[in-house]
Structure 1
Amino acid sequence: MSIKYRKDHIPKGTANNRRPGIAMQATTITIHNTGNQSSSAANERGWLTNPTNNRQASFHIAIDEREAVECIPLNENAWHAGDGSVVSSGNRTSIGIEICESGNYAQTLENAVDLVAKMLKERGWGVDRLKRHYDWSRKICPRLMYDGGSWTGWDLFKAAVIAKLDLTYNNKEDEAMEKANVIVNGKKIKDGVLINGETFVPLRAVGESIGAKISWNNQIKTATLDTQ
């Protein structure tokens, strides 16, 4: 992973039981959006110990366009899934990753793909171990991966992770996802993924292959590819 990964654990005893210190052997990774368009990973870490914060909610990692910050050890639980404290809950079995919405969101997503792929590979897991916040408590989160009743953004995120892992994926909940070779102007670029008969490929990979400028407008959630 090319971005900085640092540990800045909140203390045990932090207000509102945000770091209860309950041992956890994670079986999944849960993806969130922060819901805050002006907050960085460092700010999200700071919010966990901000005295004005009266929420019990917490998470393991926050990631933005520049860095990833580990706020709670990955072998302890955090309160991020919204499904209670029983031993089988997401709060007790899953590593929570908050994807920041500020700044260059396209770059932040790339960083998140890199981080998640690395974590899956280290654990010998596939993308079947990835969860949305929605999967635990039906909250529409990660909200920027949801659009008009469809989780297309979530499918694209998983596809990007698959491409990074160089794996194929198939389970009972999703149609088969297979790696697809992508060639632009006779040159092979980063692999795409087939989802339900359509080929998905990272926009940045296509843009860079033709010398285009890629930009992201976070306010209107729009990626632009410009060849002029």
Structure 2
Amino acid sequence: MIKYTINHIPKGTACNRRPALPMTATTITIHNTGNESSTAANERAWLTNPTNGREASYHIVVDQLGAIECLPLSENAWHSGDGSKAGSGNRTSIGIELCESGDYSKVLDNAVELVADMLKQRGWGVDRLRRHYDWSGKICPRLMYDDGKWAGWTNFKNRVEAEMKEDEAMDKASVYVGGKQIADGLYDSKAGIVYVPVRPVSEALGAKVKWDGANKRVDLTK
């Protein structure tokens, strides 16, 4: 599961980067940071850096380590480049920046997981996804542009949709030992398999758990 940190910039941050205008989002907009060496932590810090003179902000930034929520998702951010009218992307869309540093394939993995979960939570499909390009014509997310073919964007949406379908096959399952609920598991309805966390179940049954990370092995002993 992707690591998700909430670290909102303060109200009153310079250059109106947190205008705190209420927003009921109808879409999610994907961006690339345009910085090949910056991390999510760097991008969050940039929003409150006194040398930053731009009136621009975003809700979430994702890198290979996880995601940081920089503004509340119920407030607008200036990320779409299409003004401040009621129907603009700036006023209706959650802006997500994808970092270009480090392992970009892992950045994409994290973004797919995060966006799929956000869409599911809202009862939305991938038709609610937007590029920065869709609002203002800017070539962004630039790493999905592919000389105008936008193959990377199509692939990203397809991956998000596949992730959502995979999750739909998994239902929550409660795990009981001796009549007492000790953990939550997942039931894969397609495969007919129940996945349970090894440690709490084993310890509830009086077994000791040892994880061998080098060999990806779990040993249970009584």
Please confirm whether the aligned pair reaches a TM-score higher than 0.5, indicating the same fold.
yes
Amino acid across the alignment from 2:127: D
Q: What residue ranges of structure 2 are gaps of 5+ in the alignment?
A: 167-222
Deviations 1:52-105 (A, max 9, x none): 000000000000000100000000000000000001000000000000000000
1:53 corresponds to which residue? 52
TM-score, normalisation: structure 1: 0.72
1:145 corresponds to which residue? 144
1:113 paired with 2:105, answer no
How much does 1:4 deviate? 1.0
Amino acid across the alignment from 2:2: I
1:26 corresponds to which residue? 25
2:88 corresponds to which residue? 89
1:42 corresponds to which residue? 41
Amino acid across the alignment from 1:88: G
* RMSD of aligned residue pairs (Cα, Å): 0.8
Amino acid across the alignment from 1:144: L
Separation in 2 of the partners of 1:91 and 1:146?
21
Deviations 1:169-211 (A, max 9, x none): xxxxxxxxxxxxxxxxxxxxxxxxxxxxxxxxxxxxxxxxxxx
Considering only CA atoms, is the larger Rg found in Structure 1 or Structure 2? Answer: 2
Amino acid across the alignment from 1:72: L
Separation in 1 of the partners of 2:21 and 2:163?
32
Query: Would you say how many aligned residue pairs link Structure 1 and Structure 2?
Result: 166
2:78 corresponds to which residue? 79
Q: Is the 8 A contact 2:2 2:113 kept in 1?
A: no
How much does 1:147 deviate? 1.1
Separation in 1 of the partners of 2:26 and 2:120?
13
- Structure 1 window deviating more from structure 2 (144-153 vs 26-35): it is 144-153
Separation in 2 of the partners of 1:105 and 1:67?
12
2:98 corresponds to which residue? 99
How much does 1:161 deviate? 0.4
1:129 corresponds to which residue? 128
Q: Secondary structure in 1 aligned to 2:119? A: helix
2:162 corresponds to which residue? 163
What is the identity percentage for the equivalent residue pairs of Structure 1 and Structure 2? 70
Amino acid across the alignment from 1:10: I
Q: Secondary structure in 2 aligned to 1:108? A: helix
Q: Is the 8 A contact 2:26 2:92 kept in 1?
A: yes
How much does 1:3 deviate? 2.1
Separation in 1 of the partners of 2:147 and 2:24?
35
TM-score, normalisation: structure 2: 0.74
